[in-house]
Amino acid sequence: MRIDKYLSMYCEELSRSYLQKLLKEQEVLVNEKAVKSNYKVSPGEIVQLSLPEAVEPEIEAEEMELDILYEDQDIILINKPKGMVVHPAAGHYSGTLVNGLMAHCRDSLSGINGVMRPGIVHRIDMDTTGVIIVCKNDLAHNSIAEQLKEHSITRKYYAVVHGALKEDEGTVNAPIGRHPVDRKKMSINEKNGREAITHYRVLERFKQFTYVECQLETGRTHQIRVHMASIGHPILGDQVYGPAKCPFRLNGQTLHAGVLGIVHPESGAYMEFTAPLPEYFEDLLRKLRGAL
């Protein structure tokens, strides 16, 4: 087996491109000799992999227009636009929601998740729009994190899915874990997955699509996208879990975090926040209604 394939099997947390980089930089030794990516390993050989010390990049504050739904001394709720990454990560160190929040909130963001994710207690995908809550202090962060853990937060999403759902409402209860082959994807994983529950309700039916509301009971990575695809109704525009061809120009899945309800960490009062559907989503619904 090639050394690059061997390493990708045993170092699942490292991307293939990063492993190739380590091979080029002679950070991979077989029997104490540097090898290239096409080297074929044999039983009994000793493989050594050296990982350079991780250095966190400096994250800079950036002035940007944020669609603020609510703000007080403990929390801030943002209506995130399509295409915005929530927090800095490889390939996205600027233009993220965190960059904008650092400029808006200055030093008032919780530090529990470190310098790369100040204030971030949960996230939504880059191409998913809608409500996200950010915590300004550690007390608020711990409170919201506990509510997420207990599944007591109200989270309703709106999506257009392929096909006609048989029932007007239903529940997908299937564990989600990392895809066994494609490490960038999630999948239904009975063996190594974590509990995942999504409740869905039909809002409107079209010829080839259905407009649905999905309420999360749990919050796994890509949960709604994986669950709806698993029952044969992937989200329209989903370039990872849906069909290769999309009949509309959407730039990603039609998924909107419309409602988020929490118990306020300071007052103890239940508060619910709503983000209106983005214009592209409203346009799509008008097109679908016009095709009936």
Active-site amino acid positions: 125
CA 147 to CA 149: how far, in whole Å?
Answer: 5
Contact 164, 106 (CB under 8 A): no
How would you classify the pairing of strands 129-135 and 255-263?
parallel
Instruction: Using CB atoms within 10 Å of the CB of residue 57, give its burial: 0 to 12 exposed, 13 to 18 middle, 19+ buried.
Output: exposed
Contacts of residue 276, defined as CB under 8 A and 6 or more positions apart, other chains included, come to 79
Contacts of residue 279, defined as CB under 8 A and 6 or more positions apart, other chains included, come to none
* Rounded (10°) CA dihedral 115, 101, 92, 182: 80
